[in-house]
Structure 1
Amino acid sequence: MIALDMVWDPSKGLDLGFFTLHYYSVMWILAFIIGLQIMKRIYKNEGQGEASLDSLFIYAVIGIMLGARLGHVIFYQPELIREDFFSIFLPFKFKGGFEFTGFQGLASHGAAIAMIISMYIYNKKVLHKTVLWILDRVVIPVASGAVFVRLGNFINSEIIGKPTGSDFGVVFKDLGENFPRHPAQLYEAGSYIFVFLALWYFYWKTKKSEQQGFLFGLFLVMLWSIRFFVEFVKEPQGDEYFTLFGLNTGQMLSIPFVLIGLYFMFIYKPKTKLS
């Protein structure tokens, strides 16, 4: 039988002399640039000005990056708080010698919480609609961005899957291994494409954008359900601080998001009408 395992051994980035531009960082940059173009089209459709779009970009970048980093530290690597505090907020490590690392260790759960908070502040300071109005729309580019982030994880050989006997596994040579693992990052990236397409369809082809909270809820249900099931074939990302009934930290943190999503899709009744 012919083995179809893929051997993955890429370079980490482009050597620019004074530092290495990591492909992972490039994926994040692409996520924000493409996301901005998607929101520009949505804002044009909604009659929103360029000034409010520029502010949205700033709030989204700062909120998502900061939340993703803090989420990773709190849920998976709290020892950094006492061992290498400044590496939490800066793209460098100081413990064991100064080194440029880029922003590594980012948790999607933290990013999701920070996105909601930053959109609340953005709406209050800039948009003056309802927070669900912006959340129903910003989840569309966020879903597209999630695809690029997981591709970046795959390039970095991180958030790896468990060993598999399948001929369709991936051998991560970067880890010094010679056996195949589930390409969990690609499972998620491919699934998030469908999340993006579903949100895009409901926004442009139906009137669901007029039902406050529906698109936001659909995003939460789809994305975190995918995350929940892919976790079964993932290796732990760090110390598992929350486990119950055989479910790991990522799964335990995903369940509340799914429940909140179902609430906004089927139960929530807005107190105010969209203007």
Structure 2
Amino acid sequence: MIHILNFIHWNVNPEIFHIGSLSVRWYGLLFASGFLIGYYIGEYMLKSEKVNPKWIDSLFFYLIIATVVGARLGHVFFYGWEYYSQHPAEIFKVWHGGLASHGGAIGILVALYIHSKVVTKRTMLWTLDRVVVPTALVAAFIRTGNLMNSEIYGVQTSLPWGFIFERNGETLAKHPTQIYEALAYLLTFGVLMYLYWKTNSKNRPGLLMGVFFIMVFAARFFIEFIKEDQEAFEAGMALNMGQWLSIPFVLTGIFLVIRAIKKPEQIFNNRQ
């Protein structure tokens, strides 16, 4: 399956097995596994703060729906509207791939705003500061799923860890940008876990979310320079769609971090 010569020859079947018309794919398995592990991490965090247990399950439900719907619609509208406007039924076929992290982020923001108003009655920043910690880990799982699908990779490289994505008919080594992003997200997860458990960051609203935005979307911005264009309209652009969409997230992150540091620490009473 994988042979290490001058480069890494990658020809993994994205489908693990199928029964009739039902197939189980690596992407779906990793996506679901990431959410499950993220749920347990988030649950442990919130239980340590002694919050209302009902918040946890409802939050998990909101996040699943928001991430899938937001990421899918982000891909449809930001990258593939020309195709999907002619084939609207394909929008619902999420298992075929095609999720945009920026759309997922927007979907999560909308869902958490609703959850904060309806369920916790807390500020949206309080919820976001806790959600972004496991979210960074989930993002790493999703990018690993992209690797298993042989999609969203980089331009040609002569580096020894270049991947030849044979399933796509490639004969030249390309940057495995899925791995680069996954590692960046794992690093972000580690930093956020340290800040949450070892510092007073969770008592400074917006700080954890700001760090998440800066690390995730700055990494995305720079990695995009060595990533192949995902859509034809990106050809010749100084900055591609992913980079333009990353800039406001990074700027928002910087604003949130500065704001959180300047404001006094807040101690929350979670016994409700």
Q: What TM-score do you get using the length of structure 2 for normalisation?
A: 0.91
Give the whole-Å Cα distance in 1 for the aligned partners of 2:126 and 2:263.
Answer: 11
Give the whole-Å Cα distance in 1 for the aligned partners of 2:6 and 2:16.
Answer: 29
Match of 1:249 in 2: 241
Any stretches of 5+ residues in structure 1 without a counterpart?
92-101
What is the identity, as a one-letter code, of the residue corresponding to 1:5? F
Q: Secondary structure at the match of 1:4?
A: coil
Give the whole-Å Cα distance in 2 for the aligned partners of 1:168 and 1:23.
Answer: 22
Match of 1:87 in 2: 90
Asked if residue 49 in structure 1 is aligned to residue 52 in structure 2, the reply is: yes
Asked if residue 71 in structure 1 is aligned to residue 74 in structure 2, the reply is: yes
After TM superposition, list the pairs within 5 Å mapping 1:177-192 onto structure 2. Answer: 177-192=170-185
Give the whole-Å Cα distance in 2 for the aligned partners of 1:4 and 1:266.
Answer: 46
Q: Secondary structure at the match of 1:20?
A: strand
Any stretches of 5+ residues in structure 2 without a counterpart?
none
Match of 1:99 in 2: none
CA gap of 1:12–1:209, structure 2 versus 1, over 3 A, is: same
Give the whole-Å Cα distance in 2 for the aligned partners of 1:13 and 1:173.
Answer: 16
Give the whole-Å Cα distance in 2 for the aligned partners of 1:241 and 1:232.
Answer: 12
Deviations along 1:189-241, one digit per CA (max 9) or x if unpaired, are 11111100000000000001101000000000000000001001100111346
Q: Secondary structure at the match of 1:267?
A: helix
Structure 2 counterpart of 1:211, from 194, 204, 208 = 204
- The runs of at least 4 consecutive aligned structure 1 residues that moved more than 3 Å come to 239-244, 268-275
What is the identity, as a one-letter code, of the residue corresponding to 2:135? V
Give the whole-Å Cα distance in 2 for the aligned partners of 1:34 and 1:48.
Answer: 20
Give the whole-Å Cα distance in 2 for the aligned partners of 1:242 and 1:170.
Answer: 22
Identity %: 40
Match of 1:266 in 2: 258
CA gap of 1:90–1:170, structure 2 versus 1, over 3 A, is: closer
Identify which range, 80-89 or 53-62, moves more after superposition. Answer: 80-89
Match of 1:231 in 2: 224
Q: What TM-score do you get using the length of structure 1 for normalisation?
A: 0.90
Aligned residues: 263
Deviations along 1:154-202, one digit per CA (max 9) or x if unpaired, are 0100001101122220110101122100000001111111100000000
Match of 2:18 in 1: 16
Match of 1:97 in 2: none
State the Cα RMSD in Å. 2.0
Q: Is contact 1:162–1:181 with CA below 8 Å preserved after alignment?
A: yes
Higher helix share: 2
Asked if residue 149 in structure 1 is aligned to residue 108 in structure 2, the reply is: no
